[in-house]
Chain A
Amino acid sequence: MWYAAVAAGSFRRYATYQMATVAGVFTNTVFGFIVAFTYLALWHERPHLGGYDQAQALTFVWTGQALLAVAALMGGGLDELQERIRSGDIAVDLYRPADLQLWWLSVDLGRAGLQLLGRGVAPMAVGALAFPLALPRDPLTWGCFLLSVLCGVVVSFALRYLVALASFWLLDGSGLSLISGLAGMFFSGMLLPLRVFPGGLGEVAQLLPWAAVLQTPADVLVGALRGGALVRGLVFQVAWAVGLLALGRLVQSAATRKVVVHGG
């Protein structure tokens, strides 16, 4: 299983940036505190806003901070692929006997796995000590949560992969990366849970792929999705993951036909 080896290598690689991980945990924790206090004020004014009680809202905050790096909500994580496309090194990769999309998916899963341990657990633990959170007691919900996080990471990867492939046409893809990162921040619920968005905006936002990256896993964790709704939530995530990966394949084959190797 090569791809497992690639993922493990990526995991180890990110594990070497220990100082950066500690710095990241610190930043996530600081932002967690700031956002948690603003949500406390918000839910003090309007209890049960968006169907969450106060503890669920606070849990949402810390889930967001825990998953920010894991699901690469602000974009990134595939900068190297983008750089290889820009510099033309991608031509070499295309000759390798490995599937480009699966290769980078493995790299990204390895990265996400390390981030979950490194930057996910610590802020959540601090949040649980400082605030009353609505964390589930039964292991089954935790299992569903982890499954939902995995699906969210795949959806996030599929989106970022499409953005990276756009470099084949744009040359300098940093502008597009920035804008897709912003869409990710806003429509994932990172700035404000999508359930709190007013009216039609909220309904539309909950159908977009970014909802599968943070809103769904967070809803599983705080117990807002149970039984049939839980299954529907997971199906929603898988549908977006499959659809976007398939779209990525299409774009990939169009892009690779475009590559012209000098001297080849």
Chain B
Amino acid sequence: MWVRSSLAYRTSFVMMAFGNFAANALDFVAIMLMFSRIDALGGFSLPEVAFLYGTSGVALGLADLLLGSIEGLGRRVRDGTLDTLLLRPAPVFAQIAADRFALRRLGRITQALLVLGWSLPRIEVDWTVGRVLMVPLMAVCGTAIFAAVFTAGAAFQFWAQDAAEVQNSFTYGGNAMLQYPPTVFAKELVRGVTFLVPLAFVNWLPALRLLGRPDPLGLPGWVDFLGPVVAALMCTGAGLAWRLGLRSYRSTGS
């Protein structure tokens, strides 16, 4: 339904989809402008940075397409319209995710896929079947990790109703960080996104393995393959947080 409604104002839809595409493209334009002045950033070449950019962008884009609407939860808690969803015989989570489902978000995914496609033949990797399979696996695990962050952020809004922006720090902020090589950032920050909010498993750790680079924290090699485990753990945790939030929901009023 939301797909059809968004297609109703066609000019606006085209502009929104283009805008969504361009919004992310501009980030990459900024990276290219940087590389017009330098050859390497933090020791990484442009194709390598593009690979990081593409893998992170695809994962965030897919998670955003599936669950991006969930950030509207705070508004629903504030104005009480969440109650309507509770009365319907369908899981609240599914209803919220499908609410205002926005096809225009395909713009981000398309752009990230283009950058990823550009980078793949240009990075120096000795491609084997296993290494080729690692790329789609990264996308799947990365999507699950970002989806867990979206869900946990939404669950947090049951208590902090108009703090939707905090969620952006972890999703869009995390994405902005993962676009650049880990060598750029201070060790404490890298530790934070490895152990605290394990976004490093979206692309940094598997990508470093593919590119044959040591990781700045000097973790044992098998850690690079923990993506699926981390994704599963995070989704479980986010699911529990969501349930807890929903159960503590007491509707609006004084």
Contact = CB atoms under 8 A, between A and B. Distances in A.
Interface of A: 17, 19-20, 22-24, 26-27, 30-31, 33-35, 37-38, 40-42, 45-46, 49, 170-176, 178-179, 182, 185-186, 191-192, 196-198
Nearest to A25: B165
Contact of A42 (B29, B38, B173): B38
A178 B173 contact: no
Chain B, interface SS category: helix
A179 B185 CA distance: 31
B237 interface: no
B29 A186 contact: yes
Nearest to A18: B162
Contact of B166 (A23, A175, A176, A178): A23
A170 B11 CA distance: 9
Contact of B33 (A34, A46, A185, A192): A192
Q: Which 8 A-B pairs have the closest CB atoms?
A: A175-B15, A178-B19, A23-B165, A191-B30, A23-B163, A30-B169, A175-B12, A45-B38
B173 A34 contact: yes
Contact of A175 (B11, B27, B42, B169): B11
A38 B184 contact: yes
A20 B162 contact: yes
Contact of B22 (A23, A171, A182): A182
Contacts of A198: 33, 36-37
The contact size tier of chain B is 35 or more
Contact of B177 (A34, A173, A176): A34
9 contacts: A20-B162, A26-B169, A41-B184, A45-B37, A175-B15, A176-B15, A178-B15, A182-B23, A198-B36
Contacts of A192: 30, 33-34
B186 interface: yes
A33 to B, nearest CB: 7
B186 A41 contact: no
Interface string B32-64: 011011111110000000000000000000000
B229 interface: no
A127 to B, nearest CB: 14
Interface in B165-186: 165-166, 168-169, 173, 176-177, 180, 183-186
A45 B9 contact: no
Given A179-B19, A197-B33, A19 B161 contact: yes
A229 to B, nearest CB: 23
A196 B180 contact: no
Contacts of A185: 26
Given A171-B9, A172-B9, A192-B33, 4 more contacts: A37-B186, A41-B41, A174-B12, A179-B15
Contacts of B164: 23
A31 B30 CA distance: 15
Contact of B19 (A23, A31, A41, A182): A182
Contacts of B14: 175
Q: Which of A37, A41, A42, A197 counts the most B-chain CB atoms under 10 A from its CB?
A: A41
Contacts of B20: 178
Contacts of B36: 198
Contacts of A178: 15-16, 19-20, 23
A178 B13 CA distance: 11
B211 interface: no
Contacts of A46: 37-38
Given A31-B169, A37-B186, A186 B26 contact: yes
A42 B34 contact: yes
B169 A174 contact: no
Contacts of B13: 175
Contacts of B42: 41
B27 A179 contact: no
B169 A27 contact: yes
Contacts of B166: 23, 26-27
Given A37-B186, A179-B22, A182-B23, A27 B173 contact: yes
B7 interface: no
B163 A175 contact: no
A20 B12 contact: no
B233 interface: no
A171 B34 CA distance: 39
A23 B162 contact: yes
A28 B180 CA distance: 18
